[in-house]
Amino acid sequence: MPEPESPSVPHSELASFGEELRREREIRGISLKEIADATKISKRFLEAIERNDHRTLPAPVFTRGFVREYARYLGLNAEDMVNRYNFAAAGDDRIEKSIHLDRLTQPPSPTKPVKALKPRGIPPAYARIDRNIVVTVLIVIALVSVAVWAMRNRREAIAHIDGTEAHDTVAATATHPVALTAAPPVAATANPATAGTLRLVVALDDDSWVSLDADGKSVYNDEMHRGDKRTFEAKDHFRFRTIGNAGGVSLILNDVKVPSLGRAGQVLHDRVFDRTWLEKAGAAPSNP
């Protein structure tokens, strides 16, 4: 006679885990459909993660991958969130039963009789070094030596040629004097949009969530309050992954004021400011 199925009891840690993910997503103004489209995870599974509905979710090994991609898209610490999921799922009987069944279905590994090992002397350290490593090191040393020798000979040859040309020039000048006139100096022009470091000033006129990357690395992912002012630097570009309140954020890129990002309360995603944008902004006529 089959045993009656025990009623499912929601685990407090699981509930806190799912509610935490949902709260972080709603703070950033991100929908489940947007996450599903970006991560290719079914919206049904994302909803099940927030509800802690493990009957709908696949095996735990797949669910951990879903949690990792979910947290990474929100800008959270992915490994920390996976560890929290593992800790919370450890108390769920359904997860433990599925792991136990997986172990039962695996074929037993053949066992071999263990032979008694005779004690042997430990070889010296130099005998335990792999011969391939020694050969590789010797080859690298030989290549470096050849490169240094070639570079030194090349420098000496160039110095000899320069000395010969200078001597011939002096001799020709002594024989046929030529009036030398200094060439007019060329004004060095530098395009501010293609030289130097990009500096972005973020000033808050109202509270807003800001998630900012500089050259592909996250430099800020938190809420900023009215009156806050932060300066960030990058070599190539800035990318706002999320701006929770477009009307409350003002930007200045390399002393060029960025036009209004949007209205109050408007949520923006994937806004990029780079040298191309700076060149276009510098070429555009300024408003009176």
Domains of the chain with bracketed CATH? 12-105 (1.10.260.40), 198-283 (2.60.60)
Q: Report the share of the chain in percent with pLDDT over 70.
A: 66
**Bigger pLDDT: 198 vs 175:** 198
Please say if the pLDDT value at position 14 is more than 80.
no
Q: Residues 221-234: what's their mean pLDDT?
A: 94
The residues, ordered by sequence, that sit 6+ positions from 177 with a Cβ below 8 Å of its Cβ are: none
Q: To the nearest whole percent, how much of the chain has pLDDT over 90?
A: 37
Q: What are 31-48's pLDDT values in tens digits?
A: 999 999 999 999 999 888
**Is the pTM higher than 0.75?**
no
With 80 as the cut, is the pLDDT of residue 67 above it? Answer: yes
Structure confidence at residue 59 (pLDDT): 84
pLDDT at position 220 over 60: yes
Beta bridge partners of 229: 203
pLDDT band at 159 (very low <50, low <70, confident <90, very high): confident
Banded pLDDT at 191 (limits 50, 70, 90): low
Amino acid at 108: P
Q: Give the mean model confidence (pLDDT) for residues 119-134.
A: 61
pLDDT over 60 at 113, yes or no: no
